[in-house]
Amino acid sequence: MFNGFHNGNILLYDGALGTMLQSRGLPAGRRPDVMNMLAPDAVEDVHRMYVDAGSDIICTNTFGSNATALSSEGYDVSAVVGAAVAIARRAAAGRASVALDVGPTGGFLEPYGDLTFDDMYGAFAEQARAGAAAGADIIAIETMSEPGELRAAILAARENTPLPVFATMTFNADGRTYTGCTPENFAAIAAELGAAAIGINCSLAPEVIFPIAERLAAASDAPLIIKPNAGLPDPVTGEYYVGPDEFARQMERFKELNVRVVGGCCGTTPDYIRALRLVFGERTA
C-alpha cells in the first residue's frame, strides 16, 4: 500500500523490535527472527503497538533473515520471511505499509572475510524475492556499513523485485562508517543503483547524527530517512539516555532537511513513535 512520496508529508517508521521481543520471550542467544516461528503472536503484538502509536511503515522481523545469518538457526529463509511478512500485514491491517527489513549478512567480503560479492548478492536476492512473494510493500536495507555489501543488497533487491528500495547506513560520530564510507560516497552509490530513499539509522542520538545528515542531504536529492538510536546505552545498566520527549525534540530539527521518513532504532519503543507523531503531524499512509 506504499504510495510513494507524492506530497510534503513526513512518514513515520517504527522503533526497535529486537529489544521489545526480548521482553516477550526471545530465548537468550537466539536471533529475533526465530520469533516469527516460535512466537508469532508476540511479534504481531509488537508490530500492532507501533501501528497504534502512529507508524506509517512497519519493518518486518527479518533483519537477519538471510541464508548466512540464519545458518545456525535451522530455519529456511523463505519460511521465516513469509511468516514475518504475514505477521506484519495482519498487524498493519491496512493502516501501515510493510517494509521487508534487510540487515547485513553477518559476514565480510573478501579479503577481510570469506564471502564473495556473489555470495552476498545471492543471500540478499533470496531474502528479497521471498519478501516480495509474501506481499511486502518496500525493501528496507538497514544498518549497512560496508559499501560492497550495500551494493550487493541494493542490486539484489532492484534486480529481483519490483519494490521500491530504501537504504540506510550506520555512521560513527566522525561521519564515516567503520569501514570508512562517507555520506558522499553513500549518496553516489545509492543514486547509481536507484534507491528510492536513503538515510541513516542506528549508532547515535539524533543531535549527533544531524551534521552527518546535512552532508548526506547536500550530496543527494533523494528522500531522506532518519532512524537514530535513543543515544548510547549505559555500559552498566544498559539503559538508553535519550527519552521519548527529548528524542522527538532533537528530531524536529531534521525538518530543515529533505527528511521524508523518521523513526527510531535501538532503545526506542512505541512511546518514541507517539512523541514523533506529535512533532511530525497526523498519520498520512
State the Cα angle at 89 between 153 and 51, rounded to 5°: 100
Q: Which grid cell sits at 63?
A: 533483519
Q: Is residue 6 part of a domain?
A: no
Q: Is residue 5 part of a domain?
A: no
From the CB of residue 102, how many other CB atoms can be counted at a distance below 10 Å? 32
pLDDT reported for residue 84:
98
Q: Is residue 16 part of a domain?
A: yes
Cα 53 to Cα 104: distance, rounded to the nearest angstrom: 28
pLDDT reported for residue 258:
83
From the CB of residue 146, how many other CB atoms can be counted at a distance below 10 Å? 21
Question: How many CA atoms, within 13 angstroms, populate the side-chain half-sphere of residue 159?
Answer: 12
pLDDT reported for residue 283:
59
Helix (H, G, I), strand (E, B) or coil at 137: coil
Range of the domain at 81: 11-280
Q: Which H or E run contains 84?
A: helix 77-92
Q: Is residue 91 part of a domain?
A: yes
For the chain, how many structural domains are there in total? 1
Name residue 17's amino acid: L
In the chain, which residues have pLDDT < 50? 285
Cα 198 to Cα 44: distance, rounded to the nearest angstrom: 27
Beta carbons of 228 and 202 less than 8 angstroms apart: yes
Q: What is the CATH number for 78?
A: 3.20.20.330
State the helix-helix crossing angle for 77-92 and 40-53, rounded to 10 degrees: 40
Q: Is residue 2 part of a domain?
A: no
37, 66, 106, 205, 209 from 173: Cα distances, Å = 37, 29, 22, 10, 7
117, 131, 137, 159, 285 from 162: Cα distances, Å = 22, 11, 10, 8, 20
C-alpha 120: how far from chain center: 18
Cα 23 to Cα 238: distance, rounded to the nearest angstrom: 14
